[in-house]
Amino acid sequence: MALAVYTQSIIAVIWDFDRTLIPAYSQEPIFEHFGVDGQQFWGEVNALKRIYAARGLNVAEDTAYLLHMLTYVESGEFEGLTNPLLRELGAKLEFCPGMPELLSKLKDLVATDDRYAKHDIQVEHYVVSTGLRQLIEGSAVGEHLSGVWANEFIDHPPPPGFDPDVHEFGEDPGPIARVGYMVDNTTKTRAIFEINKGKDIPVNALVAPEDRRIPIANMIYVADGPSDVPVFSVINQNGGRSLGVYQPSGVNYAGVKQLQDEGRVHSTAPADYTEGSQAYLWLTTTVREAANRICDIRERKLASLKAPAGHVID
């Protein structure tokens, strides 16, 4: 198979969000804004599967909280919760040390290197999360991201018999009313293939490996727990690199250690991204390794190209 010389030059660093980029759960600003006890909310969410199972119904554990948030909206506990408000609340999220500065530093690392620049190598950042897209995009990392795959609420759902040519069903953003897009721990892998092929290409479209925008071998996945195993597997099996991170408090250390013990990640580190930290060193080194590999492949390919024959001189 012929290898293109000047394509597939992007390195994608793909991040989980909760307890990876931020030390806690991203829904906390919502609870604070409405004066809701977060522990009570999560306790109720954890009971939903059992409650519905008793009725002979099945509810996905990863996304049951989305349904319960809508229940809180309907009951008035989250009265006035809109997508613009979610973005505003996202701005209140506090990040792990070194974030979002490291996102810029990883981009600059390749942009300021003459060898990498010659081959047009770039770093792009993505978030793939079971959190809420509006919160993430409204946060301090939003401007650094090339894409976010996360849960989405919609408002003003079109009524039965609506006119397909009418695109507005409310002058102002209304309270969130439906789940518009859902991401769970298994469907995170779909996001990987959408990043791999390119956002404008259907995920099930047949695309040759050399025609895909970002090879999985050019991906680095950073996440915090066993729930990310499906993505770790896809990344690792296709030549990418993976890092398991845990909070310095140790709250999620056991799950990350299990990932390492089972060989599901290439390395682990505290979720501290300040310059000189273990995570910083691993990520900067791994980005350089990926960039060098791309350069090596291209330079070998260029060296193998034969120059055309010149004019024959008698």
Q: Do the domain assignments include residue 280? A: yes
Is the confidence at residue 110, as pLDDT, over 50?
Answer: yes
Is the confidence at residue 2, as pLDDT, over 70?
Answer: no
Separation CA 89–CA 135 (nearest Å): 7
Q: Do the domain assignments include residue 153? A: yes
Q: Give the pLDDT confidence score for residue 165 in this predicted structure.
A: 84
Domain containing 198 equals 10-23+96-304
State the average pLDDT over residues 256-262: 93
Separation CA 54–CA 38 (nearest Å): 25
Separation CA 226–CA 188 (nearest Å): 13
The confidence band for 255, taking pLDDT boundaries of 50, 70 and 90, is: very high
Is the confidence at residue 263, as pLDDT, over 80?
Answer: yes
State the average pLDDT over residues 268-293: 98
Tens-digit pLDDT profile for residues 179-212: 999 999 899 999 999 999 987 777 778 778 777 8
The confidence band for 27, taking pLDDT boundaries of 50, 70 and 90, is: very high
> Which distant-in-sequence residues (6+ apart) come within 8 Å of 279 by Cβ?
98, 243, 245, 269, 270, 271, 272, 273
Q: Give the domain CATH number at 104.
A: 3.40.50.1000
Dihedral sign computed on CA atoms, order 201, 206, 212, 218:
positive
Q: Do the domain assignments include residue 234? A: yes
Q: Do the domain assignments include residue 100? A: yes
Separation CA 70–CA 209 (nearest Å): 41
> Which distant-in-sequence residues (6+ apart) come within 8 Å of 246 by Cβ?
19, 224, 252, 253, 255, 256, 257, 268, 269, 270, 271
Q: Do the domain assignments include residue 88? A: no
Q: Do the domain assignments include residue 41? A: no
Q: Give the pLDDT confidence score for residue 170 in this predicted structure.
A: 67
Beta strand 122-132 with 241-246: parallel, antiparallel or unpaired? Answer: unpaired
Separation CA 15–CA 245 (nearest Å): 11
101-111 and 278-304 helices, crossing angle to 10°: 30
Q: Give the pLDDT confidence score for residue 1 in this predicted structure.
A: 42
Q: Give the pLDDT confidence score for residue 303 in this predicted structure.
A: 81
Q: Give the pLDDT confidence score for residue 311 in this predicted structure.
A: 59
Q: Do the domain assignments include residue 58? A: no
The arrangement of strands across the sheet holding 241-246 comes to 178-181, 145-154, 122-132, 10-15, 219-223, 241-246, 267-270
Dihedral sign computed on CA atoms, order 195, 110, 139, 100:
positive
- The domain tally of the chain equals 1
Q: Do the domain assignments include residue 89? A: no
> Which distant-in-sequence residues (6+ apart) come within 8 Å of 292 by Cβ?
none
